[in-house]
Amino acid sequence: MLTPWKADLPAEPSDFVDFTDGWLANRRLSAHTRAAYRRDVGQWLGWCQAQLLDPLRATFVHVNAYARVLECTVDARTGKAMAPASVARKLSALSSWYAFLGKLDVVAGNPVGGADRPRVSRDHSATIGLTSREVDAVLRAAAAETGPTAVRNRAIVALLADLGLRVGELVALDLADLGDEQGHRTIRFTGKGGKPRRRALTPGAVAALDAYLVTRPGDGPLFRTARGGRVDRHAVGAAVPALAAARVRDRGP
């Protein structure tokens, strides 16, 4: 039996926005991870509201019930049930959120701590990497591209291939993140887990980037749209539509 809302308790997920904002402000996260964590907490709060459950009085029993719902949820992108790694990540976000509330003495304990979470290997990754042959195919497709955004797209692909950046990490880059260190061109970015990193660029990536920078005046986002705004994740996918086809075409047996 789920705990009902009390008349004097918040009844809307929006009542917890300040808590979530404070939690995210106290963590070093990339913009993509920050947005994902906010969605994860919002999804939990929406479920609690539907169950007439006060999130501040939730127990591990409620979290377990929620986890079973997630495991049966169909991922719109794949048409399959949500992967255990995705469920584990959502519960991990909730655990961090409750830990923050605990430090503020808003909750007595962390209900996610005793919950039954999916077991996911630390070495597991749902991302399928590219072979060296596939990377070469992607770079060739970018080199053959023509048009007003071709130079920018070649720089984008070069950085993705050179550094192995996630798209969210790449679109968050600013011009100020470029630098020099011991004679090498470098770039700093926020990696997985919110860790700040700095990497040296290869000559090929430097050449592609310099060719793009000649066409890009001013400061602000490193990769910009034609209107001067920051290129987002969807724009990167739309900017290089030939890459996926090139990868398949050149993969071979």
Domain boundaries, given as residue ranges, for the chain: 13-103, 132-251
Q: In this structure, what are the phi and psi dihedrals at residue 81, rounded to the nearest 5 degrees?
A: -60, 150
Q: Give CA 126 to chain center in angstroms.
A: 13
The first and second tokens of residue 10, run together, are 């918040």
Instruction: Give the CATH fold of the 132-251 domain.
Output: hpI Integrase; Chain A (1.10.443)
201-240 pLDDT tens trace: 888 888 889 998 988 878 889 988 888 888 887 777 666 5
Q: Does domain 13-103 have CATH number 1.10.3470?
A: no
Q: Give CA 161 to chain center in angstroms.
A: 18
27-79 pLDDT tens trace: 777 777 788 889 999 999 999 999 999 999 999 999 999 999 998 888 776 77
Distance CA(207)–CA(21), nearest Å, equals: 40
Distance CA(96)–CA(110), nearest Å, equals: 9
CA dist list (Å): 223 to 85, 106, 123, 209: 31, 41, 32, 10
- % of the chain residues with pLDDT over 90: 21
Q: Give CA 181 to chain center in angstroms.
A: 28
